[in-house]
Each structure stands twice: as structure tokens, then as C-alpha cells.
Chain A
């Protein structure tokens, strides 16, 4: 993981003007059908996010935040428009290629942590590496390193039910960074946490952005969380304001 970013006076990482664009959406649209009812969740959306930025996406429920996040993360496909992430035009990729691209490029942080309950912390973190050709011993070493980065070196062999919510989310973050992705997408990462744990998680995300130059896109309802990002974007009725 490389540590290279620009730090502003307020301590936040600011997008650097000289950094290339890592996420580019052009005239993006996403339509869902509920029976015969047409739902245009995203409309004519243009967005450019430079590499190494930490951006928050806010908006009311149903505004299309998670849909946009899913499209950027390669979990969903747009109905219209073009999307390019980390140099790949996602619309051109097959499902298999998209899954492979996701496993290499994106780190996911979920609201409900989504850890596998029968696996220990280190095994959960190791999961994304199972898809690589990294040898088993090296996989374990990397998972242990990721857990040390998030400050859980003393919880490696604990199962999720033996961890607090904040610790579970930190394991989730370790899982998101273990394969050294360029982009971390976080969907309401503090939604299930108390204030203190939420602060710890946000501090960790800031650190990943600042020290390891990870591009972070975070969907949140929490103004305090959004304030920790370097850029705040608001989405309403499928359009960025």
C-alpha cells in the first residue's frame, strides 16, 4: 500500500488537482421497473472523482445514493450512460470480467459489517485473497497485516460474535483493504455504531485515505461522518446538486 496524499490545513485530505480522475460517470441513468411503474433512480448524472479523494455522498432515502455506489463498485449496471472506473469502462466487461475487476479494484465496507460468523477475524479478512494465486501462508500474513493496520492484532482469532460492533466494522475495513484495492466504497459504514465507535471507524478511513492514498466513496446519512470527508456531494431524486 502506498502512502501518498495531500493534507489540507484542517487535517482533511483534499483532492489534488494534478491527480487523474479515477471515477468518471457521463450522462448516467438507472431505471427500475416495479410492475408497469417506471422508476428513474438516477438521471443524466455526471460525476468525476479524482484518485486519492475521500468523498461523502448524502441525500434522502430513495435519492439513488446506494444505486450510484453499486454502479461505481461494479455490482450493478447503468441503464444509460457511460461509467469508467480505474481506467476500465465497466459497460464493456462481461459478468465474469466484472467480478474479477471488482475483486482487484474495489474494497467494500458494509453497514451491517457482513462478516462470516463461522470464520475468525483473520479468516474473514483473508476471504478476498482466496480468489488470488497468493500462497496460503502469504495470505494469512497479509490478513494479519491488515488487521494490525486497523488495530485488531489482539483479536485475530476471535469470531464476529466475540467482537464489539466497532471491532466488527474494523475487521470489515481490514477485509476491504487486504487485497490493496484502489477504491474503497463504504455504504453507511457508521450506521450501526455508537458515536465513539463511529469516530474510530471514520478516523481509520481518513488514515487509509491519507496514508495509503485510497480513494474512498462513502454513502452516509450522518452529517458528522460526512464532515470527515474532503468532498461532500448531495444527491436528490437521482441528480447531483
Chain B
């Protein structure tokens, strides 16, 4: 037996209490890891967004559209605006499944000739891509979306238009897969020409308009310089533009959720503080019950520092056990759920798995906070008067 062994053996004194305490720490840790993973997944889209892709939108707001002629001008600048390799345009369609309206997915009208050149991280089998280009009402959907709704190539699908009212009929011509982790696998893309021609009579003011223009820059080109050059090109036009990298765009989008993210951040900290307080109370109770034993140890010649170290060691051991148990719960639970989230909420969380740094941080925090929780009980135990302690019947 060793001094450390003696400290750890104290955990076995009341097995039920020890198990419940460890379980309490484990569940608090599970909640912490879940929130941190959510926050991480939320920012993953931005962090892993393509750096070589730029988005050009209306200078006032990304909800306002641009004349399609801007694409013509921009596309025509290949070789004249330094750094632009390819460009495409798209419109947010805002379609919904007519029955499962609550299940959100992105529906986008795209320029079929150029879209998959610019978005090369969305891989479509060549034969499906060719078939789609031939079908004006054809659509290509992400593999996760196809799985979610049980769609296969050749299926006829009707969507309910929200921005562009009416029933919109499509035929699934292809299913794309993602070649990078941050790519949303739940998008529904179709021909911009289908949208543009369909609204000529009902919404003529909306025709020949595009939501935003995406460009890919040449390798080695500086995104900021290219963005500046694009915006300068339209500076003297009626509608000015704002161009930024996809990553900056994602960051800006995330920024609009800043308060929610901050609140989640705070909640994850509060959970750990509550865990620490409960743990402190449990350790204090356990130490109080052992006052007589500590008196005996002091009588035998153990020093107050030994008693304090025993209590601290006990706290750290509970933190370590609770932390490991928490991670054992977290991995199957969160990662299992993460796969479902990726498939069903890929627009917001394209990648939802526990990052290793979150797991390590959680384990270290569990030990640190358990150690902190034991500080006051340890201090009080070390201040015991040996005679008083021995008088307490164990």
C-alpha cells in the first residue's frame, strides 16, 4: 500500500455515493462536451469553408439581388481581372417539401453551365451531371438529403415555393457527394433558367436577377486583392457590390448568431461550476464523516499536509473517473447523434463529431474542478485538532 493508494481507496468507502458522484460528473461532462461540440460544429462550416472561393453580393445586404449582367461582365473579365479563374451565379429559392415543411434544406437555382466548375467539392457522377444539364426541370440533391427523403435518381419531386409561390416540379437527375468535410450534403440545386423563365409572367421584376455570384480565384492569387478588383469594377454602377471570401461570409453569417453562441458558451461553463459545487459538497460530507479517522492518522504521526493531500487526491481521482466515464458516454452518444445531425441538419452542421481538443479539455477540466472542489474540505481536514477529532466516534 502507498499514500496514493490510501487516498484512492477512500473512494470505495461508500460505493453507492462514489458511483453516483462519478456518474454526476460524467453527465455534467457529457452536457459540456455536447455544447462544445455544437459550438465547434457551428464554426466548422466557416473554418473549413473554401478560401479560394469568393462571393459577390449586393453591397447593402445579401438579401438584395444583383443584375445577371454582372455575371456576364465578371465572366468576361477572365484574364483581365487578375486572379479570377471561374465564376457562377445562383439564387436562393426557398423551397419546401409540401408535406414535411419543418424539415429545412437549402434550395438553390444555379447556373448549370458553370456551377459545378466553381463548386468542385460537390462531386456528381459525370453521367448524372450530363443528364441534369439536358433536363430543364432536373435537380441534383445532396446524398444526405436524398437519404432523408428517400429520393433516388429519376424520382419526380414537387416543392412548395415560398419566395416564388407555387408548386414547382422537378426530376432528380443526380446525387452529389462531398469531397470536403464542411460541404453541406443537404442541398437541392436546379437550373436557374427554369426559375427565370417560370416567373416571367408572374414576377417580371424578378427576372434576370441573381442572388450572388461566386468566383474561384487562381492558385497563388490573393483573395483580398481579387475581391477589391471585382468591387472596383462595379463601383460606378447603379448597384455596388461587396465581395468576400466564403470563409469571411460564413463568419459574418455566424456573427448574426453571436448572442446565442455566447449564451451556449456561458451555459457550458455554468454546468461545470454547478458540477464543482455539488462535488465540493459531496467531498466535504465524505471528509466530515471521516473526522475520527483523520484524527487517528494524525495521532499515528501523519502531518496535516498528508491529510490535505489525501482529500485532494480523492477529489482528483473522482474527477478523473468522472471525466473518463463522461467521455465514454459522450463518444457513442454525441458522435452517434452527430451522424444523424449531419444527415438531417447538414445545412448548419455539416460535420458534427467530438473534436479531440474538446475531449482533452473536458477531461482536464473535470480533474481541475474536482481538485478545486476538494480544496476547502482538504484545508478544513488539515486544520483538525487531533484530540477533538479522536473524540468523534467513527
Instruction: Tell me the A residues contacting B by CB distance below 8 Å.
Output: 70, 73, 75-76, 96, 99-100, 102-104, 108, 110, 112, 114, 116-119, 123, 126-128, 130-131, 136, 139-140, 175
Number of CB contacts from chain A to chain B under 8 A: 63
Do the beta carbons of B13 and A118 come within 8 Å of each other?
yes
Q: Does B266 contact A (CB under 8 A)?
A: no
Mark interface residues in B3-18 (1 if CB within 8 Å of A CB, else 0). Answer: 1001001101100000
Closest 9 CB pairs of A and B: A103-B301, A114-B296, A118-B9, A102-B301, A123-B1, A128-B300, A99-B301, A118-B13, A75-B386
Interface residues on B, range: 20 to 34
Residue numbers in A under 8 Å from B79 (CB-CB) = none
Q: In whole angstroms, what is the CA distance A140 to B9 when docked? A: 17
Residue in B292, B293, B302, B387 whose beta carbon sits within 8 Å of that of A75 in the complex: B387
If over half of B's interface residues share one DSSP class (helix, strand or loop), that class is named, otherwise mixed; here it is helix
Do the beta carbons of A108 and B2 come within 8 Å of each other?
no
Report the minimum CB–CB distance from B109 to chain A (whole Å). Answer: 71
Q: Does B298 contact A (CB under 8 A)?
A: yes
Do the beta carbons of A70 and B1 come within 8 Å of each other?
no
Q: Does B123 contact A (CB under 8 A)?
A: no
Do the beta carbons of A96 and B393 come within 8 Å of each other?
no
- Closest-by-CB residue of A relative to B301 is A103
Do the beta carbons of B387 and A70 come within 8 Å of each other?
yes
Q: Does B299 contact A (CB under 8 A)?
A: yes
Residue numbers in B under 8 Å from A112 (CB-CB) = 292, 393-394
Q: In whole angstroms, what is the CA distance A112 to B9 when docked? A: 22
Could you list 15 examples of A-B contacts with CB < 8 Å?
A75-B386, A102-B299, A103-B302, A104-B301, A108-B299, A114-B292, A114-B293, A114-B394, A118-B10, A118-B13, A126-B1, A127-B297, A130-B6, A139-B1, A140-B1
- Closest-by-CB residue of B relative to A119 is B9
Q: In whole angstroms, what is the CA distance A140 to B301 when docked? A: 19
Do the beta carbons of B13 and A117 come within 8 Å of each other?
yes
Residue numbers in B under 8 Å from A128 (CB-CB) = 300-301
Report the minimum CB–CB distance from A58 to chain B (whole Å). Answer: 20
Residue numbers in A under 8 Å from B299 (CB-CB) = 73, 75, 102, 108
Mark interface residues in B147-174 (1 if CB within 8 Å of A CB, else 0). Answer: 0000000000000000000000000000
- Closest-by-CB residue of A relative to B13 is A118
Do the beta carbons of A131 and B301 come within 8 Å of each other?
yes
Mark interface residues in B352-389 (1 if CB within 8 Å of A CB, else 0). Answer: 00000000000000000000000000000000001100
Do the beta carbons of A99 and B9 come within 8 Å of each other?
no
Q: In whole angstroms, what is the CA distance A116 to B299 when docked? A: 14
Residue numbers in B under 8 Å from A100 (CB-CB) = 301
Q: In whole angstroms, what is the CA distance A73 to B299 when docked? A: 9
Residue numbers in B under 8 Å from A136 (CB-CB) = 1-2
Which of B3, B6, B300 has the most chain A CB within a 10 Å cutoff?
Answer: B300
Do the beta carbons of A127 and B394 come within 8 Å of each other?
no
Q: Does B303 contact A (CB under 8 A)?
A: yes
Residue numbers in A under 8 Å from B393 (CB-CB) = 112
Mark interface residues in B280-319 (1 if CB within 8 Å of A CB, else 0). Answer: 0000000000001100111111110000000000000000
Q: In whole angstroms, what is the CA distance A75 to B390 when docked? A: 10
Residue numbers in B under 8 Å from A127 (CB-CB) = 6, 297, 300
Residue numbers in A under 8 Å from B9 (CB-CB) = 118-119
